[in-house]
Structure 1
Amino acid sequence: MTLSKTLAAGVMTLATVGSALATDLTIVSWGGAYSESQQKAYHDPYMEMNPDINIINDESSAEAVAKLRAMNEAGNVTWDLVDVVASDALRLCDEGLAMEVDHDDVLAPAPDGTDASDDFGDLIVSDCFIPQIVYSTTVGYRSDAVGDNPPTDICAIFDTETYPGKRSLEKRPINNMEWALLCDGVPKDEVYDVLETNAGQERALAKLDTIKDDVIWWSAGADTPQLLADGEVIMGSTYNGRLFSLIVEQNQPVEMLWDAQVFDLDGWIIPAGLPDERVEEVLDYLYFATDTQRLADQAKYISYGPARESSAPLVGKHAELGIEMAPHMPTDPNNSKNTFLYNYEFWADYRDDIDAKFQAWLVR
């Protein structure tokens, strides 16, 4: 064998061994523009620094609670890290399906030495939850389909006379029930008091009944942007970052309706029951992916506010378009004049019962 062939064989052998020794981390998230922002801000730079780590993306976050319950029941947890909304983190923590963490122990301090728990502040809503972003669920509408009368109020969803056409709403009660009660005359600060009663739940469903025939129900965050782009709906709800991508990056004739946008938190949980060596690998990734700079980096790709206070001053321009990102954040003063604050504890307590009622209503 020639020297060149010998060297080539050696390189192939090393590559094969390296590949065989690579550790897979299965990270569960939401897909679409959001997962892409995580890939660019977190996954790619982490794998570049740690060539022995291979991150596998799973887009099952919408089903995270049910799937983690099933994995736990089977004694076979195959996920390493899961991106969930705050209310789901509370449920998973309460059920013992997510690992409690000492935030100051496992997360990086701010650049000035401030402890992680102080840097994240009140956004740490559970001992199992590691905040990542502040986002909102809001509504986008086709600007070319509303003439000279663009909607300014969330109740345009229910106004099929002024705005005829299909709407898209998420196939779950969260946000839909709150908006229904708001548009049925319930004051904002009384919505959850009403919604915890059977009469209040029926009242919300009765309001949704008025547009039920005009609704296309979605399950994935990418659905509404696609339906809007295709002109299949005149308006629809989704996450503000998905609409940002549609409007700014894809230049579609769509505008954002910020009224009664529902603020929410999204972040990480570590599934309970992982072997120690897998926990160690996950914590190493988390230390990197949740530091001040990395959370600010994600905001270069999608219009979600970073959860660390120290990250906010570092939010600059879109990495590819060069536009300032701050005006596109849900927390921008021009966008947050009338927000609706999501109640994590309410949905952690009532989610299963109201889910069952909502799904039964869908098919009746």
Structure 2
Amino acid sequence: MKRSIILGTSAIVAIAGFAYAEGHMANDMTLVSWGGAYQNSQQKAYVEPYLAANEGVTAVWDESSSEAVAKLRAMNEAGNVTWDVVDVVASDAIRLCDEGLAIEIDHDEVLAPGDDGSAPTEDFGDLIVSDCFIPQIVYSTTFGYRDDLVGDTPPTSVCDVFDLEEYPGTRSLERNPIGNLEWALICDGVDIADVYDTLETDAGQDRAFAKLDTIKDSVIWWNAGADTPQLLADGEIVMGSTYNGRLFSLIEEQDQPVSMLWDWQMFDLDGWIIPAGLSPEREARAFDFIRFATDTKRLADQAQYISYGPARKSSAPLVSTHAELGIEMAPHMPTDPANSENTFVFNYEWWADYRDDLDAKFQAWLSQ
């Protein structure tokens, strides 16, 4: 069944006629994202132009995307959904969709066609990994290191993160199992093709945690994407994981003595969902905003502010230079050939199935 039928009246308002919809849309939105340089790129690329084109509409940010699943579960349980559009990673979008906490959509009806005339499903292609997910960027989680704290031989392998003898000092890792468990197995000798099969077993999970045990006492655990860049800038860590766009901002915009380690960077997708349980007026506004924010131009514009690849094929030819620095952005993208010799493609469907169990196991391990 198509989304326009599922949505009923609000779908007709949001999709079929925007002129009519203007009188039936809420005038305020709460947008949820990750803060820092990434959220700033969203603000510049499409929130500010959207508000300029829609007089009287306001938008506020909530920086709780890392807790989106738990918070939307709680809001749904309480019958009080206060968020209108939520930026989430693909695996969380799949979980929210499976649990009925995000709205299923017909992408070709809801979203704008590409500037080249392509249908949205063609333009986004395989990046549409859920009926509820509206792709926005391709990014990677990788490592940055302080040039002045690694000696004369900079790290070249992600496994150098586990080498306290060659690279002594504090590291930072995200306070969740994603990425950490995969890197731990890779650096314990598991073949790339076997990582998720290994991680499905209790023995494989124990093996990953045992590898993490070797550096656990030298780790600061972060929750927000801005944490590692700040720790690197302050010289409190020798190396740490974060999103490649945050490191771009730290290195190119802030001119910090930091370099990037692209080895086995973890590719992932990020995009929007619209929560279930909104009033028709709020839902209509959310759909109107999403259509604007994910068109060809807006996704290309975002790449002027941060080094994430736009999810639309039609946006790629429009990516050029940084809006303020004037430097070419393509060489700073995770998909650039020079950066992607060794990449690990994150399995979001696998994590959608195993995330709750491994979250609990990871938090229990941290508390030991």
State how far apart, in whole Å, the 2-side matches of 1:48 and 1:345 are.
38
Counterpart of 1:6 in structure 2 is none
Counterpart of 1:183 in structure 2 is 187
Mapping for residues 330-341 of structure 1, pairs under 5 Å: 330-341=334-345
SS at match of 2:261: strand
Read off the aligned partner of 1:100 and give its amino acid letter.
E
State how far apart, in whole Å, the 1-side matches of 2:44 and 2:247 are.
19
Counterpart of 2:307 in structure 1 is 303
Contact 1:144 1:253 in 2 (8 A): yes
Q: 1:196 to 1:49 in 2, by over 3 A?
A: same
* Residue 141 of structure 1 pairs with residue 145 of structure 2: yes
TM-score by length of 1: 0.94
SS at match of 2:50: helix
Counterpart of 1:98 in structure 2 is 102
Read off the aligned partner of 1:334 and give its amino acid letter.
A
* Residue 354 of structure 1 pairs with residue 358 of structure 2: yes
Q: Give unmatched runs, 5+ long, in structure 1.
A: 1-20
SS at match of 1:76: coil
Superposed CA offset, 1:228-249 (max 9, x none): 0111000000000000000000
State how far apart, in whole Å, the 2-side matches of 1:208 and 1:163 are.
16
Read off the aligned partner of 1:335 and give its amino acid letter.
N
2:128 is aligned, of 114, 124, 133, to 124
State how far apart, in whole Å, the 2-side matches of 1:288 and 1:271 are.
18
State how far apart, in whole Å, the 2-side matches of 1:341 and 1:111 are.
28
Q: CA deviation at 1:147?
A: 2.3
* Identical pairs, percent: 75
Q: CA deviation at 1:22?
A: 7.9
Counterpart of 1:203 in structure 2 is 207
Q: Which runs of 4+ in 1 moved over 4 A?
A: none
State how far apart, in whole Å, the 1-side matches of 2:295 and 2:199 are.
37
Mapping for residues 73-88 of structure 1, pairs under 5 Å: 73-88=77-92
Counterpart of 2:29 in structure 1 is 25
Read off the aligned partner of 1:128 and give its amino acid letter.
C
Counterpart of 2:115 in structure 1 is 111
State how far apart, in whole Å, the 2-side matches of 1:192 and 1:37 are.
33
**Number of positions where the alignment pairs a residue of Structure 1 with one of Structure 2:** 344
State how far apart, in whole Å, the 2-side matches of 1:343 and 1:146 are.
31
SS at match of 2:173: strand
State how far apart, in whole Å, the 1-side matches of 2:346 and 2:84 are.
28
SS at match of 1:113: coil
Read off the aligned partner of 2:184 and give its amino acid letter.
A
State how far apart, in whole Å, the 2-side matches of 1:146 and 1:282 are.
47
TM-score by length of 2: 0.93
Counterpart of 2:68 in structure 1 is 64
Mapping for residues 130-169 of structure 1, pairs under 5 Å: 130-169=134-173
Q: 1:86 to 1:362 in 2, by over 3 A?
A: same
Mapping for residues 211-360 of structure 1, pairs under 5 Å: 211-360=215-364
Superposed CA offset, 1:98-119 (max 9, x none): 0000000010001121100000
Contact 1:82 1:271 in 2 (8 A): yes
* CA radius of gyration, larger in: 1
Counterpart of 1:17 in structure 2 is none
SS at match of 1:27: strand
Q: Give unmatched runs, 5+ long, in structure 2.
A: 1-24
